[in-house]
């Protein structure tokens, strides 16, 4: 008997699915994963996805019917529905919010609409020319003879035959009209004349919007002895564990091992997802992958437009065809692609904070979600890093994950030598040149002298983090956020890095009227300016959010550096990860202090990872690299560990601290953020929620308190943090939190409040 009801996911933040009845004419054709049109509330029509069919009314009355089935084929498969369901539950949001993050908008047109929606994904079509029908040898000769009088037409037909290698009996092959015009060096009218005569005909064909360079395929490289050992050992660990952590020093050849694992999966007919934390990294690795795996390799990230995203989506969905993708390289959002048959998920640089989505919901951790996705597909997961997250290493040591370690660089090149440059002492001795210590300048000078390249890392963009009146101490702040404005010299503006607000640089202090405003601190822009003064003949480049707004900017800068058109590249954390440059020997870390002093329990772990990562860019091919770390605190424990590349030391130190102060992985954290435009109201509601949660969870609740940045875009912010023991049943805890929030939402005036829940925040 066909089902009578459908539970539907709608793109709204309300938790739960919506039940509709299935009209008779749609019985049998509505299936889980299909897209339907329904009415919610008074007049609003929504596109939604069918999650489940059943015959239970749950006592509901007046169940509305589904209005329309948009297409007969499902848009998402059952594994995706499972994944969405898990994500909504785990990260405490609605399935509709997950769906919004997952589906390219052209596959799920806007929620609110008053007329039936149409499928807005249209593949691009282009004009092609082909032979009007099969011709025999004799016929073709006749035609060519007759065309003697029209040499242009003859030329065009010959060009077509040449391009397609046509011979009678073979298939008719269409050629792009534009290509034929170019090859025959004739005008459009000539082609038209031939089609009028019934010799050629014009067809319109779907073509890809994705511009994919053709690459020549190469066989895989042979693994070194060490790599071979690791490769075999990973595979044998997979027989015991679904998840293996590959802890390999920078340049140990992890990527090459992934490539060999991918090859095996593709041969088995499986799909592979290869995740990276940042778009910038995909540009280099994609070339490495396409070289071996050709056109089954696709890339996915947020820089594609919605049409392109839809096309990539479709190509993953049709995996076993000529145009299908079976290997996807992507950032965290690629988890949502319509995989049906994953065999392996690779999470490279698994420690990276960029895997976490902060806003909007779903606030998911890409690495952890990848593990879940793999589990749904019964696939294996490999987590790779030179400095794993404390959580993952903890899981590896306690046996939850398999652990594979590689301590040697490929080609037995030494890890870079680390030189600590004491900025405090250099300032005292008046040896600093601008923001550069003598050690740094010396190393850069050396490298440039030998025609080698340099990377300078500074984790702040802009020219200087703030400007200040030296007379009275006045600092310009954002009008909407509780943060100092950053000075950007190139555009001569003060910019808020939280909301984008910007304003011309004031000529005088608005507190005391003094005119000598001074810049304080430094960002990438200033470093570039000043290094140019010190090394006027070197070519510099800069890679940060400001220089990479343009869609192809990443690859342009990376290519310029690869081709040595840039000598010194200055950048933020974008340049710290995964990139592989042949001629790069010196890396300078300009200010280790501001990372270490960041007020967060992960600051030390992050600083270590960042420094280890960025130093890993140096000396990867032929020669040992050199890293200069500038700090005012050379005795700092973390700096000492970085100098020795001592990850185990870092882990012991961090694990000890986190146990003592009760942080993950020894507890779970859930953060609730409240926002309100009025400070007093925010305090009021935050206290209500805090009090309510404390009656249930007692001392596990911390706050409410104002975070470091207490106002963004005019919204005041307060947070509550829950630390829950690992042994406690998480689902129950979440339910109780939801109940508290539901009670708060019923308070008078609580409608003006914004509430966000973040599970496993970072």
In whole angstroms, how close is the CB of 630 to ligand ADP at the nearest point?
A: 25
**Token digits for 494?**
């003060």
In whole angstroms, how close is the CB of 612 to ligand ADP at the nearest point?
A: 12
Contacts (Cβ under 8 Å, ≥6 apart) of 119: 70, 71, 106
CA 202 to chain centre: 42
- Residue among 719, 700, 723 nearest 710 (CA): 719
Can you give the binding site for Zn ion, defined by CB under 5 A?
469, 471-472, 474, 478, 480-481, 496, 498-499, 501, 509, 511-512, 514
**Residue 685 and residue 678 in contact, taking contact as beta carbons nearer than 8 Å:** no
Q: Which positions from 174 to 213 touch ligand ADP by CB under 6 A, shown as an x/- string?
A: ----------------------------------------
**Token digits for 695?**
């009656």
Q: Out of Zn ion, ligand ADP, none, which partner does residue 478 contact, by CB within 5 to 8 A per kind?
A: Zn ion
Q: How far apart (Å, rounded) are the C-alpha atoms in residues 80 and 13?
A: 19
Stretch that binds ligand ADP, among 90-98, 144-152, 253-261, 654-662 (CB under 6 A): 253-261
Q: Which H or E run includes 630?
A: strand 626-631
Contact call for residue 410 and ligand ADP (CB under 6 A): yes
Contact call for residue 253 and ligand ADP (CB under 6 A): yes
**Residue 271 and residue 343 in contact, taking contact as beta carbons nearer than 8 Å:** yes
Q: Which positions from 358 to 397 touch ligand ADP by CB under 6 A, shown as an x/- string?
A: ----------------------------------------
Q: How far apart (Å, rounded) are the C-alpha atoms in residues 625 and 127?
A: 53
Q: Out of Zn ion, ligand ADP, none, which partner does residue 402 contact, by CB within 5 to 8 A per kind?
A: none
Output the CA–CA distances (angstroms, integers) from residue 437 to 419, 428, 459, 589, 700, in the order listed: 11, 12, 18, 11, 46
Choosing from 256, 263, 264, 530, the residue that interacts with ligand ADP (CB under 6 A) is 256
Residues numbered 598 to 627 that lie near ligand ADP (CB under 6 A) are: 620-621
Contact call for residue 248 and ligand ADP (CB under 6 A): yes
Query: Of 107 and 281, which has the nearer Cβ to ligand ADP?
Result: 281
Query: Of 34 and 250, which has the nearer Cβ to ligand ADP?
Result: 250
Choosing from 131, 223, 299, 485, the residue that interacts with ligand ADP (CB under 6 A) is 223
- Residue among 711, 725, 721 nearest 757 (CA): 721
Q: Out of Zn ion, ligand ADP, none, which partner does residue 223 contact, by CB within 5 to 8 A per kind?
A: ligand ADP
Axis-axis angle for helices 603-615, 647-660 (nearest 10) = 170
Stretch that binds ligand ADP, among 244-252, 490-498, 522-530, 537-545 (CB under 6 A): 244-252
Query: Of 248 and 416, which has the nearer Cβ to ligand ADP?
Result: 248
In whole angstroms, how close is the CB of 571 to ligand ADP at the nearest point?
A: 18
Stretch that binds ligand ADP, among 216-224, 299-307, 491-499, 634-642 (CB under 6 A): 216-224
Q: How far apart (Å, rounded) are the C-alpha atoms in residues 405 and 226?
A: 10
Query: Of 224 and 683, which has the nearer Cβ to ligand ADP?
Result: 224
Stretch that binds ligand ADP, among 222-230, 414-422, 431-439, 747-755 (CB under 6 A): 222-230
Contact call for residue 580 and ligand ADP (CB under 6 A): yes
For 699, other C-beta atoms within 10 Å of its C-beta total: 7
Query: Of 514 and 662, which has the nearer Cβ to Zn ion?
Result: 514
- Residue among 71, 67, 53 nearest 107 (CA): 71
Q: How far apart (Å, rounded) are the C-alpha atoms in residues 513 and 507?
A: 9
- Reported residue count of the chain is 762
Residues numbered 124 to 163 that lie near ligand ADP (CB under 6 A) are: none
Query: How many residues in the shown chain lie near ligand ADP by CB under 6 A?
Result: 17
For 154, other C-beta atoms within 10 Å of its C-beta total: 19
In whole angstroms, how close is the CB of 544 to ligand ADP at the nearest point?
A: 23
Q: Out of Zn ion, ligand ADP, none, which partner does residue 410 contact, by CB within 5 to 8 A per kind?
A: ligand ADP
Peptide bond into 555 cis (omega under 30): no
Contact call for residue 255 and ligand ADP (CB under 6 A): yes
**Residue 160 and residue 200 in contact, taking contact as beta carbons nearer than 8 Å:** yes
Q: Out of Zn ion, ligand ADP, none, which partner does residue 514 contact, by CB within 5 to 8 A per kind?
A: Zn ion
Query: Of 199 and 496, which has the nearer Cβ to Zn ion?
Result: 496
Contact call for residue 416 and ligand ADP (CB under 6 A): no
Contact call for residue 78 and ligand ADP (CB under 6 A): no
Q: Quick check: helix, strand or coil at residue 620?
A: coil
Biggest CA–CA distance in the chain, Å, is 96
Q: Exposed, middle or buried by CB within 10 Å (0-12, 13-18, 19+), for 641? A: buried
Sheet with 626-631, side-by-side order of all strands: 417-422, 626-631, 584-589, 453-457, 568-571, 540-543
Stretch that binds ligand ADP, among 215-223, 496-504, 585-593, 749-757 (CB under 6 A): 215-223
- The residue ranges that bind ligand ADP (CB under 6 A) are 221-224, 227, 248, 250-256, 410, 580, 620-621
């Amino acid at each position: 008997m066909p089902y009578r009801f459908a539970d539907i996911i709608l793109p709204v933040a309300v938790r739960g699915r919506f039940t509709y009845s299935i009209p008779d004419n749609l019985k049998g054709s509505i299936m889980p994963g299909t897209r339907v049109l329904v009415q919610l509330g008074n007049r609003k029509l929504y596109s939604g996805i069918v999650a489940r069919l059943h015959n239970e009314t749950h006592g509901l009355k007046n169940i509305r019917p589904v209005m329309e089935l948009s297409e007969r084929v499902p848009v998402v498969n059952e594994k995706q529905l499972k994944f969405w369901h898990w994500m909504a539950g785990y990260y405490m949001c609605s399935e509709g919010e997950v769906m919004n993050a997952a589906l390219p908008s052209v596959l799920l047109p806007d929620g609110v609409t008053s007329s039936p929606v149409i499928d807005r994904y249209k593949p691009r079509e282009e004009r092609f020319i082909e032979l009007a029908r099969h011709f025999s040898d004799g016929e073709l000769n006749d035609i060519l003879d007759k065309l003697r009088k029209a040499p242009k037409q003859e030329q065009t037909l010959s060009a077509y035959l040449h391009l397609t290698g046509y011979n009678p009996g073979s298939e008719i092959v269409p050629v792009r009209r534009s290509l034929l015009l170019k090859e025959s060096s004739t005008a459009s009218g000539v082609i038209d004349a031939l089609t009028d005569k019934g010799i050629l005909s014009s067809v319109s064909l779907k073509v890809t919007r994705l511009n994919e360079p053709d690459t020549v395929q190469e066989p895989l490289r042979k693994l070194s002895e060490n790599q071979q050992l690791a490769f075999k050992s990973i595979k044998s660990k997979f027989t015991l564990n679904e998840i293996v952590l590959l802890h390999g020093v920078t340049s140990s050849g992890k990527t090459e091992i992934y490539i060999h694992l991918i090859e095996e999966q593709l041969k088995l007919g499986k799909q592979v997802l290869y995740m990276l934390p940042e778009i910038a990294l995909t540009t280099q690795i994609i070339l490495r992958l396409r070289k071996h795996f050709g056109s089954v390799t696709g890339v996915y990230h947020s820089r594609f437009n919605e049409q392109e995203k839809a096309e990539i989506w479709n190509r993953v969905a049709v995996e076993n065809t000529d145009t299908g993708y079976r290997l996807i390289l992507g950032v965290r959002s690629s988890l949502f692609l319509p995989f049906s048959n994953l065999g392996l998920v690779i999470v490279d640089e698994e420690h990276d904070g960029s895997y976490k989505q902060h806003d909007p919901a779903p606030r998911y951790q890409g690495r952890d979600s990848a593990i879940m996705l793999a589990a749904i597909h019964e696939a294996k997961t490999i987590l790779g890093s030179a400095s794993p997250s404390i959580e993952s290493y903890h899981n590896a040591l306690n046996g939850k994950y398999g652990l594979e370690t590689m301590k040697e660089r490929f080609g037995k090149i030494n890890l870079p030598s680390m030189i600590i440059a004491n900025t405090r002492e250099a300032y005292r001795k008046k040896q600093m040149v601008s923001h550069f210590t003598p050690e740094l300048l010396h190393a850069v000078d050396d490298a440039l002298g030998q025609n080698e390249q340099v990377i300078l890392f500074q984790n702040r963009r802009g020219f200087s983090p703030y400007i200040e009146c030296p007379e009275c101490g006045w600092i310009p702040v954002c009008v909407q956020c509780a943060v100092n404005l950053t000075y950007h010299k190139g555009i001569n503006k003060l910019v808020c890095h939280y909301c984008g607000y910007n304003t011309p640089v004031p000529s005088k202090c608005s507190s005391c009227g003094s005119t000598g405003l001074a810049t304080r601190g430094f960002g990438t822009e200033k470093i570039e300016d000043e290094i140019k003064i010190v090394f006027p003949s070197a070519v510099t480049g800069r890679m940060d959010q400001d220089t990479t707004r343009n869609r192809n900017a990443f690859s342009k800068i990376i290519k310029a550096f690869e081709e040595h058109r840039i000598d010194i590249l200055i950048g933020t954390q974008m340049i710290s990860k995964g990139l592989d440059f042949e001629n790069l020997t010196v890396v300078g870390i300009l200010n280790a202090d501001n990372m270490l002093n960041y007020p967060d329990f992960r600051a030390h772990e992050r600083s270590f990872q960042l420094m280890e990562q960025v130093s890993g860019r140096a000396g990867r091919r032929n020669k040992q690299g050199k890293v200069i770390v500038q700090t005012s605190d050379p005795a700092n424990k973390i700096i000492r560990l970085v100098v020795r590349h001592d990850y185990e030391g870092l882990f012991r130190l961090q694990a000890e601290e986190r146990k003592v102060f009760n942080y993950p992985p020894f507890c779970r954290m859930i953060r609730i953020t409240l926002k309100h435009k009025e400070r007093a109201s925010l305090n009021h509601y935050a206290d209500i929620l805090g009090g309510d949660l404390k009656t249930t969870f007692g001392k596990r609740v911390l706050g409410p308190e104002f975070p470091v940045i207490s106002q963004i875009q005019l919204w005041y912010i307060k947070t509550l943090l829950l630390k829950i023991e690992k042994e406690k049943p998480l689902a129950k805890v979440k339910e109780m939190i939801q109940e508290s929030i539901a009670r708060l939402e019923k308070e008078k005036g609580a409608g003006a409040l914004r509430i966000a829940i973040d599970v496993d925040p970072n």
